[in-house]
Structure 1
Amino acid sequence: MSLPVLTHCPYCSLQCGMTVAARAEDDGGGWEVEGANFPTNRGGLCEKGRSSAELLAHPDRLTTPLVRDSRREPFREATWDEALDRVATALRDTQQRYGADAAGLFGGGGMTNEKAYQAGKFVRVALRSASIDYNGRFCMSSAAAAATKAFGVDRGMPFPLADIARADTVLLVGSNPGDTMPPAMRWFAAGRERGATHLVVDPRYTASAAAADVHLQPVPGTDLALANGLLHLAIKHRLVDTAYVAERTTGWDAVRRAMRQYWPDRVERITGVPVRVMERAVRLLAESRATMILSGRGAEQHAHGSDTALAWINLALALGLPGRPYSGWATMTGQGNGQGGREHGQKADQLPGYRMLADPAARAHVAAVWGVDPDELPRPGVSAYEMLDRLGTDGGVRALMVMASNVVVSAPRADHVRERLGALDLLVVSDLFLSETAALADVVLPCTQWAEEEGTMTNVEGRVLRRRRAVEAPDGVRSDLDVLADLAGRLGRGQYFSADPQTVFDELRRASAGGKADYAGISWARIEAERGVFWPCPDEDHPGTPRMFRGAGEGAERSSTRGYFATPDGRARFHVVHHREPAETPDGEYPYRLTTGRSRAHYQSGTQTRRTKALLDAEPEPVVEIHPDLAARLGVADGADVLLRSRRGRARMRARLASTIRADTVFAPFHWAGEQTINALTNPALDPASRMPEFKVCAVDITAAPAGEDTTA
């Protein structure tokens, strides 16, 4: 066996440390991975991490560019020169015909910081287009918008993951790490061993809820009302930390008055959570020495998700949590580089370091780093779903590059997105495998994967860490970093780009300097020496910031701006937010609620996990969870096929009877394609602040599926 190389898991935002080593040929060859003693996971890996080596020599791996001369013809192999010349020519011709914004890029939250940064720069400098966004808009955008409004900065988890073990009370809202990031559960278990109390808010009785002391089971789409109801009770029982509110916040009086509308009986009618359970929950949260409120996509992927996140932040502020030791509000980032991927320019309105594209000072700073005139930079573009919805139309993108994303499976109203992709003049997809989106492309570019590349990632804690090359890439495969630099050269802008990841990271440091996500003091050498560095880190003498929002004299780092928080006056902001019904509610034609999410064995669109034997053996197909009482009314037996239908599409899945879900709600995972694409049903109604689609609730009809019926027709 070769010497193991320390790197990080290719899946979720924990970015668990692992080693990769080649096995001897007489031991079967190939590679194997083992968990490493990294601060996040301390040697633990979930089944996805343990099986990740299967991808390194997978027979489906793409190793040569594919092109086709028309959509009616099959792919044929091509040289890199032919493929990239074709892409560059089509991008140039499209822009000459329809304008600069007609060429765009859709990125992904799994790309390294260097590739995410380069993607944003490529669109703005090489294409001079406003048309870029990424799949993180479908994941973290509501929490990011809320944190920015309340605290002035979005670092999803403003303290180390290990702090969970030191909290006396933890409330999980719409997050199920027991299934989605199992190694994190060691910290929850350590807390319970100390005597901590855990509460879970979820319409399902999940693995995380099963490990908790209290389960609050609301109607999907009512988390905001529940948060306001708990705050009403905190005010009623004099549990508000009035000294903290007076010293560190603003806007409290308006919120306090607004909470009069959320008396307990009304909130019980809205949410279905009994008053006695709310009473117990708020006392546990308020009377604890150290309390955390951790939210996830279940609360945030709604047309009012940013307001829901603000409601939970209001509760955290009223109880005096942010900045207290082992306390605060945080959101559990999902994608591998979900934090770093949203900091450095993939979002339509942002520049590196969380600078805003519409800000003249931000434009001037970044343009100076890039060596271009600020007036050359485009204005903000439209969000991810809005871009996809307008593909091929007047004023929309006509030539699209897709990197590290499989939108045919992951986007809401997926059948419509497939149609829009078909209306493009050019679709280019970079991927490891021929994903469902790549199968629709005109040009497919084979890219390197996690163990074949160097770079950095920023994990759930805001810890910037190193991804190291452990395996040589197959002949014919290139990094997205290299591809973007090459394309920029073919477009006459190559002087602004490098294909070397360390060179790109050093430029990212300069571009982020002085921004809210400041990486200026983080070097690859420091990351190696310190096992990761927490941002903000404005210079090389700065220790990094494991814990944010702590005041002077409290034994921890203080915010780099005046006061406790990254707002102009250093105070956190309360916001008045009110419960509103989901964009779509059950009616006579569509009488049930569908909610979606991840399952334990699979990840994101399933492009990788549906090709991993160990994970397919564990979960060979998706199932829709149906309460036995609802199944009895529908005449559906356990294991029978059912059809789910919404106003946008339909899907066919096998039923699993589960008393752990509400009787008015069904749950299905979103990792599957074809007739099992649950996002064919989901609602693209957008949050006005974050532009997040409403993945987590829509109205559906459910019927037993006739044998052999083709639901894709």
Structure 2
Amino acid sequence: MTATDTHCPYCALQCGMTLTPEIPRVKLEPRDFPVNKGGLCAKGFTAADLLDHRDRLLSPLVRKEPGNRLSPLREATWDEALTLITEAITTSQREHGRDSVGAFGGGGLTNEKAYALGKFVRVALKSASIDYNGRFCMSSAATAANRALGIDRGLPFPLEDVAGARTVLLVGANPADAMPPSMQYLDAGREVGARHIVVDPRRTTTAAGAHLHLQPLPGTDLALANGLLHIAIREGHLDEDYIRTRTTGFDAVRAATNSYWPERVERLTGVPETRLRETVRLLATHGPAMILTARGAEQHSNGTDTAQAYLNLALALGLVGKPFSGYGTITGQGNGQGGREHGQKADQLPGYRKLDDPAARAHVAAVWGVDQDELPRPGLSAYEMLDRLGTDGGVRVLMVLASNIAVSAPHSNHIRGRLEALDFLVVSDIFRSETAELADVVLPTAQWAEEEGTMTNLEGRVLRRKRALAPPPDVRTDLEMLAALAGRLGRFESSDPRTVFDELRRASAGGIADYQGITYERIEREDGVFWPCPAEDHPGTPRLFADGFPTADGRARFFAVHHRDPAEMPDRQYPYVLTTGRNMQHYQSGNQTRRVKALTVALPEPRAEIHPDLARRHGIADGDLVELRSRRGAAVLRARLSDGIRPDTVFAPFHWPGANALTNPALDPHSRMPAFKACAIAIHRHERGTD
């Protein structure tokens, strides 16, 4: 049997692995790829278990009684399924307008599929209605980086550079659980004297191994960042020459941070002043230093400003663009980076171009062979689109690819209701997810090992996902499905991944995320190519900002930002704060990992992490069932008592239905990111006790 080198289907590390088809199962082995260096986490080791899973969708499904979602789903032919979808699209657009049909994509789609989906919506459907689940993941950090640095590439340096940093400030990140193979770089740094500082309301596995753990109240990370910069200014730690020669706008930031004196920041955040000062001392004197943020800091109604505050700190200390130093944000989803570069976002065209930019529209329209005036204007962001499903003026026919929004969207009970209000819902997936169960048509799609394509990992390294085995006989790739639908709508599109990628290269040429010089052959030869890469003889760009910034004047920009309270504060009725996040054993909405026996045995159910003092106050023992309730809904989880979490905070994982029934959809004004990481809740021992 032929062995195939490919990549893990889960997180943004995109660890290398080798697949060998064997009877009766596929053999999966870790590969010595530059990112994981032979390591895999439990999810990666068990990824092949899904390829022949008994729950696998093997044929299209349609409702036994069309239009009646209470009727059961039955097997259908592709012709029948595509005919139903085409009729729903044409009827809706005739009666309600072009924008009444839309798509919701995912950060797990290959670059080719993300590109094809964006093109399909804008050219075949001629609709403005598209966004994706990366809006719920990376949008705040992306917005901040674009306006400060002129470019959004999660890590502007290879992951291996983390091992060379002597101080690393990790804000709202728990890589020990979320992406374990990455810890080898932090471990390597510690072995030679590096100091790591973790900002998290929980004592996570990552925090437990850090030199310092700062434990702020959720929603106060911006105040913490401004407080750190205030101390750096007062204690003379600024890199004044760097600020003068490589940046602009610092005077406003200097003035804005005047009021963030250590005593005030300690009151706002709960972080002791001594730890604030020690953090600044390490960042400024124990270099080279890095500041890395993740969703814990960014998934707030002020997430963009929070990321901006940490960028301000990194720029003021002169960290950005120097060896083993700088600012980065840790991308979570497998293709969270590439997925936001090539047209899934409501305001975006391939190459990270803006849909409302005339030059961008002209360039992409020429590649697509359409008049630029035919391209729609920017549409609504993810939650705003979902919130209006089934209403007059909203999307009435929705296609969902690689996303389980019935579980993953904030205020999920409300979003489930909006999905049920649609005239027609199409879901493409490998399993019958909670979202697929609501669909009029469910389309079976090929899995990661059954298709060709590229992914872009958290470093901006474009990788090649190679086909190791054929999909089941009646299963198609999403590219084949989109091409077939486009054909029925009068538009020819290729379903060949290489052909689509070559078109993507042309569409991205000259854009911020320029892939023009990246080919399948180069990726294979070089173990991935870093964008921007504008020509085939260009080496790619592993490290950004050494010589300047891709802004109009070549300088990075400071932005003055201020702390404001979370969109929802605790009160007498809802006195505690809920924050959500990942467990090591599961991924995203759990649609895949909750089907893997080894992972469900290790963690069979969600657990609410509660401080013993808070539990005692409510008569809750370890293992009891507890009800968490917010203004939007309730969830029952089993309690896990831990003195590693703040006594005023409860943590719940989002891999199961429940946690997002509670979360607040208040949106960041810049990125339109919902406030996943802080909402007010009440807690009670559930009447069924320990069940």
Q: Return the alpha-carbon distance in structure 2 between the equivalents of residues 369 and 39 of structure 1.
A: 34
Q: Look up the match of 1:683.
A: 664
1:62 aligns with 2:69: no
Q: 1:603 aligns with which of 582, 587, 602?
A: 587
1:643 aligns with 2:624: no
CA contact under 8 A between 2:347 and 2:355: conserved in structure 1?
yes
Could you tell me the TM-score, scaled by structure 2's length?
A: 0.99
Q: CA deviation at 1:210?
A: 1.0
Q: Return the alpha-carbon distance in structure 2 between the equivalents of residues 623 and 191 of structure 1.
A: 32
Q: 1:502 aligns with which of 498, 501, 517?
A: 498
Q: Return the alpha-carbon distance in structure 2 between the equivalents of residues 32 and 229 of structure 1.
A: 52
Q: Look up the match of 1:389.
A: 387
**Shift in CA distance, 705/489, structure 1 to aligned 2, threshold 3 Å:** same
Q: Look up the match of 1:523.
A: 519
Q: Look up the match of 2:372.
A: 374
The count of corresponding residues between Structure 1 and Structure 2 is 688
1:5 aligns with 2:1: no
Q: SS of the counterpart of 1:343?
A: coil
Q: CA deviation at 1:22?
A: 2.2
Q: CA deviation at 1:357?
A: 0.1
Q: Return the alpha-carbon distance in structure 2 between the equivalents of residues 193 and 437 of structure 1.
A: 46
Please say which of residues 218-227 and 63-72 is displaced more in the overlay: 63-72
Q: Over aligned residues, Cα RMSD in angstroms?
A: 0.9
Q: Look up the match of 1:554.
A: none
Q: Look up the match of 1:456.
A: 454
Q: Return the alpha-carbon distance in structure 1 between the equivalents of residues 687 and 438 of structure 2.
A: 30
Q: CA deviation at 1:472?
A: 1.2
CA contact under 8 A between 2:624 and 2:689: conserved in structure 1?
no
Q: Look up the match of 1:237.
A: 235
Q: What letter is aligned with 2:132?
A: Y
| Residues 625-678 of structure 1 deviation map (CA, whole Å, 9 limit, x = unaligned) | 0000000001100000000000000000000000000000000000002xxx11
Q: 2:79 aligns with which of 61, 78, 81?
A: 81
Q: 1:533 aligns with which of 529, 535, 552?
A: 529
Please say which of residues 377-386 and 67-76 is displaced more in the overlay: 67-76
Q: Look up the match of 1:36.
A: 31
Q: SS of the counterpart of 1:575?
A: coil
| Residues 526-552 of structure 1 deviation map (CA, whole Å, 9 limit, x = unaligned) | 00000100000000111000000002x
1:549 aligns with 2:545: yes
Q: Return the alpha-carbon distance in structure 2 between the equivalents of residues 191 and 3 of structure 1.
A: 38
Q: Return the alpha-carbon distance in structure 2 between the equivalents of residues 258 and 389 of structure 1.
A: 36
Q: Return the alpha-carbon distance in structure 1 between the equivalents of residues 366 and 211 of structure 2.
A: 54
Q: 1:53 aligns with which of 19, 40, 48?
A: 48
| Residues 586-644 of structure 1 deviation map (CA, whole Å, 9 limit, x = unaligned) | 00000000000010000000000000001001100010000000000011000000000
| Residues 291-348 of structure 1 deviation map (CA, whole Å, 9 limit, x = unaligned) | 0000000000000000000000000000000101010000000000000000000000
Q: SS of the counterpart of 2:188?
A: helix
Q: What letter is aligned with 2:51?
A: L
Q: What letter is aligned with 1:665?
A: T
Q: Return the alpha-carbon distance in structure 1 between the equivalents of residues 304 and 490 of structure 2.
A: 41
CA contact under 8 A between 2:625 and 2:689: conserved in structure 1?
no
Q: CA deviation at 1:4?
A: 2.0
TM alignment of 1:577-588, pairs within 5 A? 577-588=561-572
Q: CA deviation at 1:471?
A: 1.6
| Residues 493-515 of structure 1 deviation map (CA, whole Å, 9 limit, x = unaligned) | 12xx1100000000000000000
Q: Return the alpha-carbon distance in structure 1 between the equivalents of residues 161 and 29 of structure 2.
A: 25
1:158 aligns with 2:156: yes
Q: SS of the counterpart of 2:398?
A: strand
Q: CA deviation at 1:708?
A: 8.5
Q: What letter is aligned with 2:45?
A: R
Q: Return the alpha-carbon distance in structure 1 between the equivalents of residues 564 and 255 of structure 2.
A: 18
Q: Return the alpha-carbon distance in structure 2 between the equivalents of residues 295 and 306 of structure 1.
A: 11
Q: What letter is aligned with 1:105?
A: A
Q: What letter is aligned with 1:299?
A: A
TM alignment of 1:420-435, pairs within 5 A? 420-435=418-433
TM alignment of 1:311-710, pairs within 5 A? 311-494=309-492, 497-551=493-547, 564-673=548-657, 677-707=658-688
Q: Return the alpha-carbon distance in structure 2 between the equivalents of residues 541 and 344 of structure 1.
A: 23
Q: CA deviation at 1:706?
A: 1.0
CA contact under 8 A between 2:92 and 2:397: conserved in structure 1?
yes
Q: SS of the counterpart of 1:339?
A: helix
| Residues 351-370 of structure 1 deviation map (CA, whole Å, 9 limit, x = unaligned) | 00000000000000000000
Q: Return the alpha-carbon distance in structure 2 between the equivalents of residues 476 and 266 of structure 1.
A: 63
Q: SS of the counterpart of 2:652?
A: strand
Q: Return the alpha-carbon distance in structure 1 between the equivalents of residues 178 and 500 of structure 2.
A: 31
Could you tell me the TM-score, scaled by structure 1's length?
A: 0.96
Q: What letter is aligned with 2:83?
A: D
CA contact under 8 A between 2:624 and 2:690: conserved in structure 1?
no
Q: What letter is aligned with 2:659?
A: I
Q: What letter is aligned with 2:9?
A: P
Q: Look up the match of 2:216.
A: 218
TM alignment of 1:131-170, pairs within 5 A? 131-170=129-168
Q: Return the alpha-carbon distance in structure 2 between the equivalents of residues 542 and 202 of structure 1.
A: 40
Q: Look up the match of 1:262.
A: 260
Unaligned runs of 5+ in 2: none
Q: CA deviation at 1:72?
A: 2.4
Q: CA deviation at 1:709?
A: 12
Q: What letter is aligned with 1:6?
A: D
Q: Return the alpha-carbon distance in structure 2 between the equivalents of residues 512 and 288 of structure 1.
A: 40
Q: CA deviation at 1:159?
A: 0.1
Unaligned runs of 5+ in 1: 552-563
Q: 1:202 aligns with which of 200, 225, 247?
A: 200
Q: Return the alpha-carbon distance in structure 1 between the equivalents of residues 613 and 286 of structure 2.
A: 38
Q: Look up the match of 1:186.
A: 184
CA contact under 8 A between 2:102 and 2:121: conserved in structure 1?
yes
Q: SS of the counterpart of 2:57?
A: coil
Q: What letter is aligned with 2:176?
A: G
| Residues 393-434 of structure 1 deviation map (CA, whole Å, 9 limit, x = unaligned) | 011000000000000000000000000001100000000000
TM alignment of 1:249-328, pairs within 5 A? 249-328=247-326
| Residues 78-110 of structure 1 deviation map (CA, whole Å, 9 limit, x = unaligned) | 100000011011101100000000000000000
Q: SS of the counterpart of 1:593?
A: strand
Q: CA deviation at 1:211?
A: 1.2
Q: SS of the counterpart of 2:126?
A: coil
Q: Look up the match of 1:228.
A: 226
Q: 1:96 aligns with which of 94, 97, 102?
A: 94
Q: SS of the counterpart of 1:57?
A: coil
Identity %: 68
| Residues 233-273 of structure 1 deviation map (CA, whole Å, 9 limit, x = unaligned) | 00000000000000100000111111111011000000000
Q: Return the alpha-carbon distance in structure 2 between the equivalents of residues 123 and 203 of structure 1.
A: 41
Q: CA deviation at 1:707?
A: 1.4
